[in-house]
Structure 1
Amino acid sequence: MRTSSVLLALPALSCAQQIPYLEQIKGFFTTKVSHAASGMPTSIPNPLTAATGKIAEVSVPQLTLANHKELIKPGAATASPGIETWMVYVTGGNKTCFGTCGRAEEAFNGSVVLIEASPTAPNLAYLNCDQDQVLCAAWAVSPPNVLHMQLPQPLPDQSQPPSTVRAIQVNRTTITTSQIAAIHLEDKYLDSPVYEGFWHPFNGPLADYGLNIPAGYAIWAFSVIPSWAFMIGISMISRNIMSRRAQAPPARRSAGAPPAAAAPATAK
């Protein structure tokens, strides 16, 4: 009876002895897998995002009031190709874009690597209207915007053909990287009309006479003066005009006016 009990207990003892070994084996594989997983990224990053997060800050020059004439200009008459093409992204901050240019700026940063990979890639630059309000005012542009410029090179007689400028407005909330890249890659700039107005940065009347930058300074000065200062100035000028009119002598008789009638003679 005792022998049968012992025999019946042997399988249970055998299982009890095997359980620690199974747990050790399971723990060993679990540890190896966790170590292997810890060395791998939890998610695969987007290569486009990883590559272009800060590319615009590195490879795209900033257009400023000091360097715009030296940076954006046609090449030599003997250079190739015959037209210098520029894409200038106009952005801003809280002053000129009210803090809503973030999405458009990310889209432009992402489009830089796509545009530069094109065999006919244009020259790229960006203009910050918060930092260069005078230049933005002189060119009559506001963010977010993309300026597509084509500057022909001088002719053999050194005459300069007119430049082509297109201002492409960018949607602040729905713009994407592919849409900005398509401006060049798919020639979407041709859908926008050529600007030929008064504020043309190269061939407009102000630019021809060298008055576009002074006009930009004037517009910038008016924008920084508070409205209450304008009201006080207008009030002082109007009061000065009214006081001068009140103190002015009565108007003299004009030379062509008929003489006054003589007083009748009294009878003697």
Structure 2
Amino acid sequence: MRFSSSTLVAALPALAAAQDSPIDQYKAQFQDFIGQMGSYIPNPGTHDPVAALEAKTGAMKLSTLTLDNWKETLYEPVSPEATTPEEWWVLVSGGNKTCYGRCDKVETAFKETAAKFALLEEAPHMGYLNCDDQPILCNAWSTGTSNLYVFEMLPSPAPIDTYKKRLNMTTTTSETLVNLYEAGTKDQFTLLEPGWFHPFQGKAVELGLAVPFGYFMWAFGLIPNWLFMLVVSFVSRTMMSNRMQGQANRDAGRR
């Protein structure tokens, strides 16, 4: 779960009623939350190695990226002496949690394109990242679903040019992706600058913070709305109490 402006707006009525409404219901919810903590927290990473192997060795030649294998997978076809980049296309997709069931069309188009590219002598390597299954990696990249990444892989430690394009969830077809490739340029893509969350040259990667940030954002996303509203309510009460106490002290000082 991710917080948005709608979540904050939803919290405003609770703030307005915080002084009058009881908090017993929040306490009960909190106790229930603690009691069910073990079953509430999902596994942060899910990977089916059998299905991944079938996708990689089958007609699609599609590699499934995980937190543990993504870098090794992208470097795998790169020879140590290479001066011409090995191009990877990686689709960031998801299921009901991260894409709300809207990524099916894009995912189908990408897999159809992977099968077509597998028949060509020269075509990009194809990779797939599911944010439902790999939330830590998606957060470490600070990316979302329906994004197409293009990695121009060279031997380490050479810089990796990385491009990104947001795909339309309703209109993208295999023909759309084939046309992108046949255009022979990256004019429709955005070149990622080596800012904080570049997968290879990002400042977070350099400082070793990318994966910890991924875990932090994943854990933060587990906080239920009611607990967030409870915290905001307590903060609001404390601020109002301090303000009223300060006003009372000033009034007493004038007497």
- Name the CA distance, whole Å, in 1 between partners of 2:171 and 2:240: 55
- Name the CA distance, whole Å, in 2 between partners of 1:224 and 1:57: 36
Superposition map of 1:112-123 within 5 A: 112-123=114-125
1:144-166 CA deviation, whole Å, 9 max, x = no partner? 12110112224xxxxx2321111
Which residue, 71, 94, 97 being the options, matches 1:95?
Answer: 97
The alpha-carbon distance between structure 1 residues 126 and 163, as it changes in their structure 2 partners (threshold 3 A), is: same
- Name the CA distance, whole Å, in 2 between partners of 1:55 and 1:221: 30
Compute the displacement of 1:127 (Å).
0.5
One-letter amino acid of the counterpart of residue 211, structure 1: L
How many residues end up aligned between the 2 structures? 190
SS of the equivalent of 2:101 reads coil
One-letter amino acid of the counterpart of residue 77, structure 1: P
Structure 2: 5+ residue stretches without partners:
1-53, 250-255
What root-mean-square deviation, in Å, do the aligned CA atoms of Structure 1 and Structure 2 show?
A: 2.7
Matched, 1:193 2:193: no
- Name the CA distance, whole Å, in 1 between partners of 2:92 and 2:214: 16
The match for 1:228 is: 226
Superposition map of 1:13-32 within 5 A: none
Matched, 1:174 2:176: no
Q: Confirm or deny: 8 A CA contact 2:56 2:64 kept in the other structure.
A: no
The match for 1:217 is: 215
The alpha-carbon distance between structure 1 residues 56 and 96, as it changes in their structure 2 partners (threshold 3 A), is: farther
One-letter amino acid of the counterpart of residue 187, structure 1: G
The match for 1:77 is: 80
Structure 1: 5+ residue stretches without partners:
1-53, 155-159, 251-268
- Name the CA distance, whole Å, in 2 between partners of 1:122 and 1:113: 11
- Compare relative contact order (CA 8 Å, sep 6+) and give the higher one, 1 or 2: 2
One-letter amino acid of the counterpart of residue 176, structure 2: Q
SS of the equivalent of 1:72 reads helix
Compute the displacement of 1:187 (Å).
2.4
Superposition map of 1:119-158 within 5 A: 119-154=121-156
TM-score (structure 1 length as normaliser): 0.62
Which residue, 192, 205, 208 being the options, matches 2:206?
Answer: 208
- Name the CA distance, whole Å, in 2 between partners of 1:55 and 1:161: 29
Identity of aligned residues (%): 34
The 10-residue stretch of structure 1 (124-133 or 106-115) with the greater mean CA deviation from structure 2: 106-115
- Name the CA distance, whole Å, in 1 between partners of 2:180 and 2:149: 10
One-letter amino acid of the counterpart of residue 206, structure 1: A
Superposition map of 1:54-69 within 5 A: 58=58, 59-69=61-71
One-letter amino acid of the counterpart of residue 80, structure 2: A
